[in-house]
Amino acid sequence: MTTTTTTTPGSLVKKTEEEWRAVLSPEQFKILRERGTETPGTGEYNKFFEEGIFCCVGCNTPLYKSSAKFNVECGWAAFYEGFPGAINRRPDPDGEGTEITCAACDGHLGHVHKGEGYGTPTDERHCVNSVSIKFNPAKSSSETPPEETS
């Protein structure tokens, strides 16, 4: 279950716990709202490399382009950057790292790691729970209606 509203970075989505439970699966709620973590290597997008956009499963805010995704053996979907203003960072409550959340709904996405030497343009790895995101495929040219001719 997901919401169908699309939000943009800078707009805030506020819901009660009951409202979140109504639109998220139990697993999505545990990770997005209770800041859980999916089991490494089990996420749908861990080894997924199709062209499109990854959005927040809670509010549909665009978070990552597929071109920012890279292959690394960490067990979670890895991106080197998100859309500007779409992702917030804060010290993880355990003091061990930096948590990343959706800027629109404050949903927990995962963690960001810097300076690991993967050769990405930002030298960052956004380690994202697949349960926190959903994929919207790029429109292929075959899906575009042909132009009318006179």
Q: Quote the CA–CA distance of 68 and 121 in Å, as a whole number.
A: 9
**What single-letter DSSP state applies at residue 129?**
-
Phi, psi of 73 (to 5 degrees): -85, 60
Rounding to the nearest 10 degrees, give the CA dihedral for residues 122, 37, 99, 16.
Answer: 130
| 108 contacts: CB under 8 Å, gap ≥ 6 | 31, 32, 33, 34, 35, 36, 99, 101, 129, 132
27's enclosing H/E stretch is helix 26-32
127 labelled catalytic:
yes
Q: Which of 56, 102, 105, 127 is catalytic?
A: 127
Which tokens belong to 18?
A: 């009951």
Question: Active-site residues: which are they?
Answer: 127
